[in-house]
A = this chain, B = another copy of it.
Amino acid sequence: MSEVYAARRTRLRERCNAGGSAAALVSRPANVRYLAGAAPRGAVLLLGTTEDLLLCTEPPEDRPAAGRPDESLRLRVLPGPGADPAVAAGGVAEAQGADSLAVEEHHLTVARHRAIGSAAPRLRLAGLGQAVEQLRVVKDEEEISCLRIGAEIADQALGELLESILVGRTERHLALELERRLVDHGADGPAFPTSVGTGPHAGRPGHRPTDRRVEEGDFLSVCLGATYRGYRCEIGRTFVIGTSPADWQIELYDLVFAAQRAGREALAPGVAHRDVDRAARQVLDSAGYGENLPARTGHGVGLQIDEDPQLTPAAMGKLDACVPVTVEPGVHLPGRGGVRIDDTLVVRPEADGGPELLTITTKELLAL
């Protein structure tokens, strides 16, 4: 694996040098992990002029879930508390003779930025922008394989829940049980706080579970994901509780299903992000639900559950092959509930069979 991380750092160094900086400081944890193999507590990565260095305040953990620092990197553990690896890295960069250091201005606080400037006064601090986030958008097959395993785990956890009795249980308990099952099946942990919404809460994006109990006739929507080796996927499904869904439930479900299918089918290399959003959105829009739609219908996933690209009406840019995204339109009717269907897929060219669906739990309307 060491070559993978070294190659990623080489690509970043090229971008950085092209931007006029001899050295770069990466501080955002997911970016550190991407380039160094692990991000121990407080870790920052210095791409120096003479040597790369991983600085942290604690030694790396010996758990597969935490990753393993690339052995070709020199590791420096600073004594705590209060030591800031970013400040120490500034000093190292200056000592290496760098005249400018590109930093992650979207992650470093004003106070830390100033402390680096004080510790290394001869260093010009420049902006690295979202260079690492941009490198992270297209995944390699190793990364996709972690997402695929995470998706399998989430499918398993959800499948087992559906076999149990749901009526009378609270949203909070169902969410906890799903999270336990994720870990049982080998996840590092949940990819994000599991959302379970029943009745009027169903279909609300990001709903935090309450003590409301599942009742006959409810919509029940569930959104969960597993983290596996640091990679985070997402699946969301909506069910009906009881033997026979009401007509409005079937209609709403069919509509959201059609929107979600349209979004999935729009995924292909070269397609504009906004066109994927529009494909899903216009189905709901033309049925009269335009006003209550969420701001986006999907987003990238990877080392973070919410990465680029953003699938929104105003998004710029086009999809590439090997970009994993969610497609997750939904409709929520205040006071009544709603439907949300969410898959994680990998963009693949037509010749490779089109988009690869990672979350394979059925999307038929199940009455439980």
Q: Residues of A at under 8 Å CB distance from B?
A: 58, 61, 63, 65-66, 79-81, 103, 105-114, 172, 176, 179-180, 183, 206, 208, 210, 295-296, 310, 312
B210 contacts A63, C-beta separation under 8 Å: yes
Those 10 A-B pairs whose CB atoms lie nearest each other, nearest first: A105-B110, A106-B111, A105-B111, A80-B295, A81-B295, A110-B113, A176-B180, A108-B110, A106-B109, A110-B110
Nearest Cβ in chain B — how far from A199, in angstroms?
14
A66 CA to B207 CA, complexed, in Å: 12
A-B contact pairs, 18 of them (CB 8 A): A58-B206, A63-B208, A66-B208, A79-B295, A81-B295, A81-B296, A81-B310, A81-B312, A105-B109, A106-B109, A106-B110, A106-B112, A107-B109, A108-B110, A109-B109, A110-B110, A110-B113, A176-B179
For A61, the chain B residues whose CB sits under 8 A away are 208
Oligomeric state, in copies: 2
Nearest Cβ in chain B — how far from A39, in angstroms?
13
Residue of B nearest to A177 (CB): B180
A206 CA to B42 CA, complexed, in Å: 14
For A111, the chain B residues whose CB sits under 8 A away are 105-106
For A312, the chain B residues whose CB sits under 8 A away are 81
Contact of A183 among B106, B108, B176 (CB under 8 A): B176
Residue of B nearest to A113 (CB): B110
A180 CA to B63 CA, complexed, in Å: 23
A56 CA to B216 CA, complexed, in Å: 35
A106 CA to B106 CA, complexed, in Å: 13
A113 CA to B105 CA, complexed, in Å: 10
A63 CA to B108 CA, complexed, in Å: 32
For A176, the chain B residues whose CB sits under 8 A away are 179-180, 183
